[in-house]
Amino acid sequence: MTKLIHKKGDLFTSNAGALAHGVNTRGAMGAGIAKQFRDRYPEMYKEYRVQCADKTLVPGGMMGWIPEEGPAIYNVASQDFPGPHAKIEWLSAGLWNALRDAEQRGIQTVAIPRIGSGIGGIPQEVVEAYVRGIAEASPVDVEIWDLE
């Protein structure tokens, strides 16, 4: 059984082998932590925009991006449009896909923000219950980061 680990502070200080966050499928990373991912990983953002334009990233899907250095990035397609449009079934499916990919790559821990419960609009307690179930069923540990 894996662990669901609660952390406080800046997600980008995690030593996890991968970082995951929720995205829409319209190619917009203009607010919240998605904007920070866009600014920190411009090449990832370019690929994300291509996959959104090509409609290869769909709600419930996941886009993995593996840089030459640093953690893997998983864009979890938790919503179809920017704003409070996340759906728990999309978030769950995308996170499952990310953890499966992490397992195949030998990544032991994936760090996430309060995914889907900020701009996405899903109540935090609902998200945490689903994330806990996913983490318990996966060999990959999951860190949930709260800002201090």
Residue 130 above 90 pLDDT?
yes
Number of domains, the chain:
1
- Look up the CATH number of the domain holding residue 58: 3.40.220.10
pLDDT given for residue 2 in this prediction: 63
12-49 pLDDT, tens digit each: 999 999 999 999 999 999 999 999 999 999 999 999 99
Residue span of the structural domain in which 37 resides: 4-146
pLDDT given for residue 147 in this prediction: 83
pLDDT given for residue 38 in this prediction: 97
Arithmetic mean of pLDDT over the chain: 95
Residue 4 above 80 pLDDT?
yes
Mutual angle of helices 88-105 and 124-137, in 10-degree steps: 30
Element (H or E) spanning 62, and its range? strand 62-65
pLDDT given for residue 118 in this prediction: 85
pLDDT given for residue 148 in this prediction: 72
SS3 content of the chain, % helix, strand, coil (to 5): 40, 25, 40
58 CB-side CA count, 13 A: 2
92-117 pLDDT, tens digit each: 999 999 999 999 999 999 999 999 88
* Residue 81's pLDDT band (cuts 50, 70, 90): very high
How far is residue 132 CA from its own chain's centroid?
A: 14
CA distances from 117 to 59, 71, 100 (A): 16, 23, 22
Hey, is 66 helix, strand or coil?
coil
User: Considering only CA atoms, which of 67, 62, 52 is closest in space to residue 21?
Assistant: 62
53-72 pLDDT, tens digit each: 999 999 999 999 999 999 99
CA distances from 20 to 35, 37, 140 (A): 13, 10, 13
